[in-house]
A = this chain, B = another copy of it.
Amino acid sequence: MSKCRPCVITLLTDFGYQDAYVGIIKGVITGINPVVKIIDICHNVSPQNILNGAYLLYTSYKYFPAGTIHVAIVDPGVGSKRDIVCVKTRNYLFVVPNNGILSFVVKEEKPEYIIRITNNKYFLPSISNTFHGRDIFAPVAAYLSLEIKLRQLGKKINQLELLDILAVKAKNNEQLEGNIIYVDRFGNLITNITKQHIKSLEINYKYLKILIGKKKIVGMSKNYADVNKGKPLALFGSTGFLEISISHGNAQKYFKVNKIIEEDKDLIFFCEK
């Protein structure tokens, strides 16, 4: 962590914007380190949906300056036996429940140390059973921004819990079977298919067939305005994944993808030669 720039702490949670939970966390952090910069990544992770949080963290963490402390709290196990960990990668520190929320991130940034956080010297004096964001995550992150040693937080462990994210299935170099892993505000459907996957099909983008339910899209687009208003299209989105969109419209509504994407999701689609 460079000393010449104010340290950054980011917050990603499922606490929403309806209650005071996020404000309280910022109060605790500011009380410990009044000059740290706190930046919200998002607080509308679908409640208790770890996959959702893992995806959002993956799309954003790398755009922050090296040394940033990322706090991500989607924590259905709060108050039970699950661990809270501090994970150091080459460029960042993560303070998270050990429940799979780093599943995407660790594909890009290997953990160098994983510490199970147990030292209550860095917690609030009184720990509730339901709001560890306030009582543990916030003060730990704030003390980390004051550059305490990681080892002061607890013992090193070797393994992180990871989500069993449904992998892309390939069939004879002819077909890929993928899943929707996220739906954004504009109704864009984000899949788990990357350019690498499509390359394996050895086909020119413009002949690629994408089947979603009973609808078919032929060819990849470059941008949302590439097809006529109201028409579906597929493109590689800003996160590097194949996305299904409607030009000037909403693919979630068009394809009736109304439900929250869950781990055991059934929104299978295909890319074919």
Residues of A with Cβ closer than 8 Å to B?
A: 5-6, 8, 10, 12, 15-24, 26-28, 30-31, 34-35, 37-44, 47-48, 56-57, 59-60, 63-65, 68, 76-80, 128-131, 134-135, 184-186, 222-226, 235, 237-238, 243, 248
Is there an interface contact between B44 and A23, defined as CB atoms closer than 8 Å? Answer: no
CB of B237 within 8 A of CB of A130, answer yes
Please indicate the chain B residues that have their CB under 8 angstroms from the CB of A15 in the complex. 185
A-B contact pairs, 26 of them (CB 8 A): A5-B34, A10-B27, A12-B20, A16-B185, A17-B44, A18-B185, A20-B57, A21-B184, A21-B185, A22-B40, A23-B39, A24-B59, A24-B60, A27-B63, A27-B65, A27-B68, A77-B225, A78-B224, A79-B223, A79-B225, A80-B223, A128-B238, A129-B223, A130-B223, A134-B238, A135-B238
Contact B64 A31 (CB under 8 A): yes
Distance (whole angstroms) from the CB of A249 to the closest CB of chain B: 9
Q: A48 vs B76: C-alpha distance in the bound complex, in angstroms?
A: 32
Q: Which residues of B contact A34 (CB under 8 A)?
A: 5-6, 8, 37, 65
In contact, B76 and A19 (Cβ under 8 angstroms) = no
- The contact of A19 among B5, B18, B21, B56, by CB within 8 Å, is B56
Q: Which residues of B contact A64 (CB under 8 A)?
A: 27, 30-31
With known contacts A15-B185, A78-B223, A248-B48, A20–B60 Cβ distance under 8 A: yes
Cβ B20 vs Cβ A42 within 8 A: yes
* B residues less than 8 Å from A20 (CB atoms): 12, 41-42, 56-57, 59-60
Known contacts A27-B39, A77-B225, A130-B238; can you find 18 more A-B pairs with CB under 8 A?
A6-B34, A17-B43, A18-B42, A18-B185, A19-B56, A19-B185, A23-B60, A27-B63, A27-B68, A31-B65, A38-B39, A76-B248, A78-B223, A79-B226, A128-B237, A130-B224, A131-B237, A135-B238
Q: Which residues of B contact A38 (CB under 8 A)?
A: 39
CB distance from A265 to the nearest CB of B (A): 18
- Considering the chains assembled together, what is the distance between the CA atoms of A80 and B221 in angstroms? 12
**Chain B, residue nearest A182 (CB):** B19
